[in-house]
Structure 1
Amino acid sequence: MVQFSPVSAPHSHSGNSTTHLMFWVVAALIPATLYGFALFGLSAVKVWLFCTVTAVFVEALCLLAQKRFWRGALDGSALLTGWLLAMSLPPSVPWWVAVLGSTFAIAVGKQAYGGLGQNLFNPAMLARVMLLICFPVELTLWLDPSLPAMGADGLQFSAAWLGQNYDGVSAATPLAFHSGHEWQSDWHMNGLFFGQHAGSLGETSALLVALGGLFMLWRRVITWPIPFALLAGVAVPAAISHQINPEQFLSASTHLASGGVMLAAFFIATDMVTSPASVKGQLVFGIGCGLLIWLIRCFGSYPEGVAFAVLIMNATTPLIDHYLRPTIFGSRTQLNA
């Protein structure tokens, strides 16, 4: 359903719709996305285009195959799925990887469950994990950022920025390095917050992603429990472990500013379909996501654990909703259904 119009007196409607909410999220992603384009150039633009266009196209095909109105593909949900997938991929991935990922996200991660509102797992993260398992080489090659520089003849663009003769660099993201004190300098934190390091589009600038999240909180597109709980779930164990053994464990600030933590906290874990409904459930969900991200980063085989953590907690959402249902309106205690 793209739009809802109440017709009888007992109903009250805020004016929001699926399309309205989806495009507010898209608007919040624009600053970080444009900055990623500036850092990584035409390769990043191509990945974004292939992901978003493919997602909308496959959504329309799936709706037609189900004899449903194809214009439902324009409600913004497919666009957002492709956009989030692009934000989680290295800017150097081949075009066919982006197309395959978006196709899987929509056809398997969303429509196979019945479409919008029915999927158990976040489609973008499901596709991200599938691609990582099937194409580990392509998903672990990164481009160094190369902002255009002003020269005597105007703006100067590197060959890598133009997508010409670039070489991917394996394991070049900050999370691939666990060397304690070398990562605690002011330069390091500035690089993480402002995006001067290799990574995916969603890892370019923790500051811009966080500002987009705060914008959504201000617009009431999302609520505070999941972002707060997820960030706390990462920061608390990271701070404790770093105090105990700073040579082995990264600081809380490094964990929060690196990788896809900010993107997960504000844009991925807050997906209304795959997260719990109650405030208590959202707090449990967010803490679980954050703790799993920290555990995978510190003790797992992957330097980044956002996608795995979100999918694991997505699987627990029905259980959380069952045991942490909100109190029924008009009663002092929770009633059994």
Structure 2
Amino acid sequence: MISSPFMARPTTVSVVMLKVLAALVPGIVLSVSFYGVGVLAQLALASATALVAEAAMLRARGQPVAVFLKDGSALVTAWLLALAMPPLGAWWLVVVATAFAIVVAKQLYGGLGNNPFNPAMVGFAAMIVAFPAQMAQWGSAVAPLSAPEQLAYIFGRTLPAGVDAIVSATPLDHLKTQLSLGVPAATTLAESLHGSAGRWVAAGYLAGALWLWRQRLIPWQTPVAMLAGVTALALPLWLLDPTRYADPLFHLFAGATMLGAGFIVTDPVSGPTTPRGRLIFGFLVGVLVYVIRVFGGFPDSIAFAVLIMNIAVPFIDHTTRPPVFGAKKGGRA
């Protein structure tokens, strides 16, 4: 019979990061099933680049390499970034993005725990600004190419005989283009096989995020508030003009919304630490996601929304922190 007292085992950073990687597996499996082994190639390239860049920067800073490489944080950044990149993107795209994320957004700020911005989103934002055309080209769902053909395209941009093109715009880009041509939103969404595949992948990320929450590794406030922020704008605009605006479910399961809600805004380093602050942060991220996605120039808006709100985190924490025990609000004890 087990009796008290009970002592909680300390959770190490490496264990937490390993569980985050495990939570991404359902989304990865579904992504591979729809888009092919190009997803695995992007993950491998990002992982290798992250470890090399992290080791090089640690050595340059005079820090112990093995200790920090084993914590798994570099791999988490690599995986999140790779899963946001085009599955059939050129190999150098994910390599440059990952190196930028690790070197500039993480190590130059002092490494894990010191970065004010989410490193994966910094890498993604840098690439979508510098190479918007390449970042908008995704492989068609249920890719027609074999595994060797996909790898040949990623590493050499070589197309098999008789194939002129294998990439297509993301559902968000496609919807924006069709709306500009006067095609109703409902018609575009009904014809989008790629969008259907994206919803299944998003469901995989949602399942992983729910598992992390059950493991008490992420708070519920930030992801729920972010999804509420997206819905708060998507629902009334859709009800007002369904020909011009997509329904809320599309926005919740399109692009990287679920990946962002479960794995990006829940970053404990670049996000708020107070429960009320997490609600504010998540909700405003969701609002910005919709505003930038629908009215801005970048449909894949998660990175920009998160980075903008990362700037406000110190202010949010300062204004939402609870009073010190024994002290009156706005005064002394």
TM-score by length of 2: 0.86
For 2:148 and 2:75, locate their aligned partners in 1 and report how far apart those are by CA, in whole Å. Answer: 30
2:211 aligns to what SS in structure 1? helix
Which deviates more, 167-176 or 78-87?
167-176
Q: Is the 8 A contact 2:293 2:301 kept in 1?
A: yes
1:28 aligns with 2:17: no
For 1:53 and 1:335, locate their aligned partners in 2 and report how far apart those are by CA, in whole Å. Answer: 53
Corresponding letter in the other structure for 2:291: L
1:83 aligns with 2:98: no
Q: Is the 8 A contact 1:232 1:290 kept in 2?
A: yes
For 2:59 and 2:279, locate their aligned partners in 1 and report how far apart those are by CA, in whole Å. Answer: 38
- 1:272: which partner in 2? 268
Aligned alpha-carbon RMSD (Å):
2.5
Corresponding letter in the other structure for 2:123: A
1:111 aligns with 2:98: no
For 1:292 and 1:174, locate their aligned partners in 2 and report how far apart those are by CA, in whole Å. Answer: 15
Corresponding letter in the other structure for 1:33: I
For 1:94 and 1:204, locate their aligned partners in 2 and report how far apart those are by CA, in whole Å. Answer: 25
Deviation at 1:18, TM superposition (A): 1.0
Pair 1:291–1:68, CA change in 2 (3 A)? same
1:326 aligns to what SS in structure 2? coil
- 1:181: which partner in 2? 186
- 2:228: which partner in 1? 232
Deviations 1:209-267 (A, max 9, x none): 10001000000010100011000000121001111111111111111011111011110
1:138 aligns with 2:134: yes
Aligned with residue 97 of structure 1, among 89, 93, 99 = 93
Percent of residue pairs bearing the same amino acid type: 34
- 2:239: which partner in 1? 243
Deviation at 1:298, TM superposition (A): 1.2
TM-score by length of 1: 0.85
Corresponding letter in the other structure for 1:196: A
Q: Is the 8 A contact 1:226 1:283 kept in 2?
A: yes
For 1:100 and 1:304, locate their aligned partners in 2 and report how far apart those are by CA, in whole Å. Answer: 19
1:110 aligns to what SS in structure 2? helix
2:268 aligns to what SS in structure 1? coil
Which deviates more, 212-221 or 297-306?
297-306
Q: Is the 8 A contact 1:175 1:258 kept in 2?
A: no
Matched residue count? 310
Corresponding letter in the other structure for 1:287: F
- 2:197: which partner in 1? 196
Deviations 1:305-334 (A, max 9, x none): 111000000111011111111332455647
Q: Is the 8 A contact 1:42 1:163 kept in 2?
A: no
For 2:330 and 2:73, locate their aligned partners in 1 and report how far apart those are by CA, in whole Å. Answer: 34
Which deviates more, 57-66 or 224-233?
57-66
- 1:169: which partner in 2? 167
Which deviates more, 325-334 or 274-283?
325-334
Corresponding letter in the other structure for 2:288: L
1:109 aligns to what SS in structure 2? helix
Deviations 1:72-127 (A, max 9, x none): 12201000000100011001111111111111000000011111111011000000
Aligned with residue 52 of structure 1, among 31, 39, 47 = 47
- 1:319: which partner in 2? 315
For 1:264 and 1:132, locate their aligned partners in 2 and report how far apart those are by CA, in whole Å. Answer: 16
1:17 aligns with 2:18: no
For 2:40 and 2:18, locate their aligned partners in 1 and report how far apart those are by CA, in whole Å. Answer: 19
Deviations 1:264-292 (A, max 9, x none): 11100100000011011000000010000
For 1:95 and 1:335, locate their aligned partners in 2 and report how far apart those are by CA, in whole Å. Answer: 58
Deviation at 1:13, TM superposition (A): 5.6
1:220 aligns to what SS in structure 2? coil
Deviation at 1:160, TM superposition (A): 5.4
1:223 aligns with 2:223: no
Deviation at 1:37, TM superposition (A): 2.0
Q: Is the 8 A contact 2:212 2:218 kept in 1?
A: yes
Q: Is the 8 A contact 1:81 1:124 kept in 2?
A: yes
Deviations 1:40-95 (A, max 9, x none): 22322211101011101211111111111101122010000001000110011111
For 1:294 and 1:64, locate their aligned partners in 2 and report how far apart those are by CA, in whole Å. Answer: 41
- Relative to its length, the structure with more helix (as a share) is 2
Gaps of 5+ in 2: 1-6, 154-158
Gaps of 5+ in 1: 1-11, 149-155, 198-202
For 1:75 and 1:217, locate their aligned partners in 2 and report how far apart those are by CA, in whole Å. Answer: 21
Pair 1:13–1:335, CA change in 2 (3 A)? farther
Q: Is the 8 A contact 1:120 1:314 kept in 2?
A: yes
Structure 1 runs (4+) greater than 3 angstroms displaced: 156-164, 329-336
